Structure 1
Amino acid sequence: MYKLAEFPLNYEQDLVLVHKRALKLGELAGLPLMTRTTFATAVSEVSRDALQYGIDASLTLGITPEIESKRCIVAKINDHGHQIARQKSKRLDSATRLVDDFRISKSGNGLEVRLYIRFPASQCVNEDNIEHWKKQFNTESTESPNDEIKRKNSQLQDLAERFRTSERQYQLLTDSLPFLIFTATAEGKVLNANNWLKKYTGESVAQLNKTKWATVIHEDDADDWWSHWGATAPAGNTFRTEIRIRNAETGAYAWHQVTATALRGEKNTILSWSVVLMDTNAQKMVERTLKDNQELIEAKQKLEQSQHELKLNIGELNRSNQELAEFAYVASHDLQEPLRKIQSFGSLLVEQFTHELSPPAQDLVHRMHVAAERMHVLIKDLLTYSRLNTHHQPFSLVDLNVLLQEVLEDLEMTIREKEARIEFKSLPKIQGNPVHLRQMFQNLLSNAMKFMSPDRTPHIRIFAQEVSIFEIPAPMRQREPSYLAISIEDNGIGFDERYHNRIFQLFQRLHSKDQYSGTGIGLTICKKVAEMHGGTIAALSQPGQGTTFTVYLPQSVVVTVEK
């Protein structure tokens, strides 16, 4: 046998060296890993018995001479006390089954146990190879396994201390940076985090993993964040995005820019992810403020332009309205005189020359007289409407009960002719224009008696109540919190509410003048009077079921309410 290495078997720790050197011999012989391990195990088993029962035991490793037909690696265990063979050991039985050949013999130096494992015939073994193998064994550490273990433990402790120092330095560095920093797995599970993240979010690493950041990330950003992470992290691609993170102290969400970088091992495998969140809320606020300022400047410029155009338009409109009102007043006033002459001459023809006129001529005179009367009413209404725009008198205290009673006296003939029944409850006193208010109530009551079915007796109710801003029609709501609603309710013919806005327009009629007389100005005057007092007017109606006109006046004009 060519001897490659020899060493004593004195301590338990020597068995580590036995196993290691046996593996090394199998590796040099080109044996497969399984065969190497089997050989090393068999050598270790016999060596353990020699250590336990033998005297001055030792181990020699080598190879068989080249002259032998089958080349083998050999392990020879010497026991100078001949004790191994006297023991019934399971280890020896196990070693016998693990090797190709197992021999026990006696010599002058004691008992020898030899273990053989054949190695491939393709493996060339010569003196050069043997010398090379010897050098391989000689370069191996000669220290005892116990010393080697101690040395390696010392190295491990040194490495551990250096790692802990590096870890503390990294933690101090990340804690000193004004960023939220953490490491995570590809699934997003946080491994560790700096104090900024814990303080800012108010949650520990365990809480963040348990809630999956549900109480930290803004609900509008959570789905995008996790879908982005799930799509990018497994691929190992560094990515950036923006999310809103909740500040535990203020409860407010702030924008953060996220940068996630993969930490890779020796074989480029992803060990974890390093994630940094930088607060960009102030930057976004500045950008938003600059954008808002620019938009504000543009809006201000447009507003100034619009105000300038509006001022010009208002001035033009006021001038036009003034000219129109003056024209309407002058025209209506100047028309009165020739119209009175037409009415007077028509009356003279009817009174003094009826017997001289033929029936067709009498009919023409009658038609002329009716048309002149209609013209007179129209001119009168136009004068009334034009005065609303040109004659602005200061408000005074008006008792609506007294004013309504005067209106009823003016309409006494019509009330008696229609046999109308008019009821009204106690009404308040308000600050207003008595002439205009009287005109409004007179028009409303006249309409209520005019638009009546022939088979009905007019029944009209007048009442007032306080209403909130939410009880008046939405388009008519102003800034007043409450309003006084004065309603005139009748049982007349009613109308389709599709025409609600139309009835308040100048000269608009829902019926022909042959059915119901009038000029179409009365309700326009009513609306104008209501608006002059800071309010408006609305109507509720259904065909055949009567109509309720309601005048809404702000409570600021009410003086007292009589109960």
Structure 2
Amino acid sequence: MKPAKTYDQLVQENEALLIQLEEATDTIHAIRTGQVDALVVHGKDGHELYSLKTADQTYRVFIETMNEGAVTLNEEGLILYCNSKFASMVGMPLSKVIALPFDSFIPADCKPLFTSLFSEGWTADRKIELSILSDKGLVPCQLSATTLELDGGISMSVIITDLTLQKETQKLLKTNNERLEEMNTALEISNHDLQQFASVASHDLQEPLRKIQMFSELLKDKHIDDLPADSVRYLEKIIDSSNRMRTMIIDILSYSRLSTHSDTFVLTDLNELVTEVLKDFELRIQEKKARVMIAKLPTVEVNQGQIRQVFQNLISNALKFSKSSQPPVIEIKSSQFSGQDGHSDEQFCSITITDNGIGFDEQYVDKIFSLFQRLNTKDVYEGSGIGLAVTKRIIDKHNGQIKAHSREGIGSTFIISLPLRQNKPA
């Protein structure tokens, strides 16, 4: 009977085994990564030389550095070689994966797909998507099969790409798209309801307002001599307020209708359109002794009614916000240019409308195109504060832009950029 080993002996033996294990691990790693191409092994017949063939070594180096799983199969479907990535994907030690049939990692419902890939992959490159089994469940993957001629003969190389992140992203994208569609549908319904409400409310409000105006005017015409001075003043305020209310209702109605009208674009000579607009302002122009100068304007594809409203709003503002000390001077001119920075074939026109009115502080330039924004008191300058919001919305619907520049006491310039032709879908 052998004497029992002492504790120190056991410790020494354990350390020796650890050293041998580390050497073996280093050797295996060196073989896998191509750091060695031959081994000297001590056997019963003495030292023997085992060489690693060049093609196999190059292949091992290549697939070991891949970020995707890779296996080499023989004609029976057994795994001759695999990289560390594939072992990690299936959650097994690399040494346990070698020599296993690859279809042992294929779930039952995916086996027909893999059988087809394995059968056809010997004659042509093939790709399929299926799931593989791992220690944590199913992993969605893409398998790409091709044949390789290595020193050991013809083998099938299969690259396994983990599609987990891609599938999760696709699922998230699909969910977000469905939510976006639902939100768009809800928004369309809400916009339609809002437009209907604005239209109905504006229409229904006009009837009682007309009665307020009518009876106020009757009271003023027939009984003004019988009313005290304070009552006359109050009555005039009622009439002025009801007139402003009527203007605001009409403007709201116009703004809401911009979303319901179809975008019918026709080639329009802006010279003729502006001339017609100026005829509507003929009396105001005479009263103000205004001077309007118009350079030659282009022919543009627009919605005539909407663009007419744009010029009506801007010319009306130029007349309204004029100085009391001098007649208004309004200048309208245009130029043409290609798309942004001249890199596009699309042609645009730039129309500027300049006046010598009271102007405004440019720090408010972003506000003037918002609904109900007023920079001047309503007691001095009439209006609802909707006109420029309507103007901007019309220009947006024409795929254009509108900007403003101004200086207090000097005047304002509005610059409109419009495409000469609207690119309508075929």
Judge same fold: TM > 0.5, yes or no. yes
The unaligned stretches of length 5 or more in structure 1 are 1-237, 239-256, 261-276, 473-477, 559-563
Provide the C-alpha distance between the structure 2 equivalents of 1:320 and 1:293, rounded to a whole number of angstroms. Answer: 40
1:330 aligns with 2:195: no
1:491 aligns with 2:356: yes
- Offset at residue 326 of structure 1 (A): 0.7
1:406 aligns with 2:271: no
Greater CA radius of gyration, 1 or 2? 1
- Offset at residue 480 of structure 1 (A): 7.3
Q: SS at the partner of 2:350?
A: strand
Q: SS at the partner of 2:371?
A: coil
Residues 298 and 373 (structure 1 numbering): CA distance in 2 closer, same or farther, change over 3 Å? Answer: same
Residues 351 and 555 (structure 1 numbering): CA distance in 2 closer, same or farther, change over 3 Å? Answer: same
- Offset at residue 443 of structure 1 (A): 0.1
Provide the C-alpha distance between the structure 1 equivalents of 2:418 and 2:384, rounded to a whole number of angstroms. Answer: 26
Provide the C-alpha distance between the structure 1 equivalents of 2:195 and 2:170, rounded to a whole number of angstroms. Answer: 35
- 1:510 corresponding residue in structure 2: 375
- Offset at residue 470 of structure 1 (A): 3.5
- 1:46 corresponding residue in structure 2: none
Q: Is the 8 A contact 1:487 1:550 kept in 2?
A: yes
Residues 316 and 354 (structure 1 numbering): CA distance in 2 closer, same or farther, change over 3 Å? Answer: same
Provide the C-alpha distance between the structure 1 equivalents of 2:300 and 2:212, rounded to a whole number of angstroms. Answer: 43
The unaligned stretches of length 5 or more in structure 2 are 1-25, 27-32, 37-57, 70-141, 143-159
Q: Is the 8 A contact 1:493 1:544 kept in 2?
A: yes
- 1:536 corresponding residue in structure 2: 401
Q: How high is the sequence identity, in percent, across the aligned residues? A: 40
Provide the C-alpha distance between the structure 1 equivalents of 2:397 and 2:298, rounded to a whole number of angstroms. Answer: 18
Match 1:524 to one of 374, 381, 389: 389
Provide the C-alpha distance between the structure 2 equivalents of 1:532 and 1:357, rounded to a whole number of angstroms. Answer: 52
Q: Is the 8 A contact 1:480 1:554 kept in 2?
A: no
Q: CA RMSD in A?
A: 3.3
Q: SS at the partner of 2:414?
A: strand
Structure 2 residue identity aligned to 1:416: Q
Residues 355 and 553 (structure 1 numbering): CA distance in 2 closer, same or farther, change over 3 Å? Answer: same
Q: SS at the partner of 1:502?
A: coil
Q: Is the 8 A contact 1:480 1:555 kept in 2?
A: no
Residues 524 and 279 (structure 1 numbering): CA distance in 2 closer, same or farther, change over 3 Å? Answer: farther
1:425 aligns with 2:295: yes
Q: What is the count of residue pairs matched by the alignment? A: 283
Deviations 1:14-50 (A, max 9, x none): xxxxxxxxxxxxxxxxxxxxxxxxxxxxxxxxxxxxx
- 1:436 corresponding residue in structure 2: 306
Structure 2 residue identity aligned to 1:392: S
Deviations 1:507-532 (A, max 9, x none): 11122212322111000110111122
Residues 282 and 554 (structure 1 numbering): CA distance in 2 closer, same or farther, change over 3 Å? Answer: farther
Pairs within 5 Å for 1:14-413 = 296-392=166-262, 394-413=264-283
- 1:416 corresponding residue in structure 2: 286
Residues 422 and 364 (structure 1 numbering): CA distance in 2 closer, same or farther, change over 3 Å? Answer: same
Provide the C-alpha distance between the structure 1 equivalents of 2:34 and 2:275, rounded to a whole number of angstroms. Answer: 80
Deviations 1:335-385 (A, max 9, x none): 111111111111111111111111111111111110111111111111111
- Offset at residue 434 of structure 1 (A): 1.4
Q: SS at the partner of 1:540?
A: strand
TM-score, with length taken from structure 1: 0.46
Residues 552 and 342 (structure 1 numbering): CA distance in 2 closer, same or farther, change over 3 Å? Answer: same
- Offset at residue 557 of structure 1 (A): 3.5
Provide the C-alpha distance between the structure 2 equivalents of 1:286 and 1:465, rounded to a whole number of angstroms. Answer: 59
Give the number of the structure with larger relative contact order, counting CA–CA contacts within 8 Å between residues 6 or more apart: 2
Provide the C-alpha distance between the structure 1 equivalents of 2:307 and 2:395, rounded to a whole number of angstroms. Answer: 8
- 2:410 corresponding residue in structure 1: 545
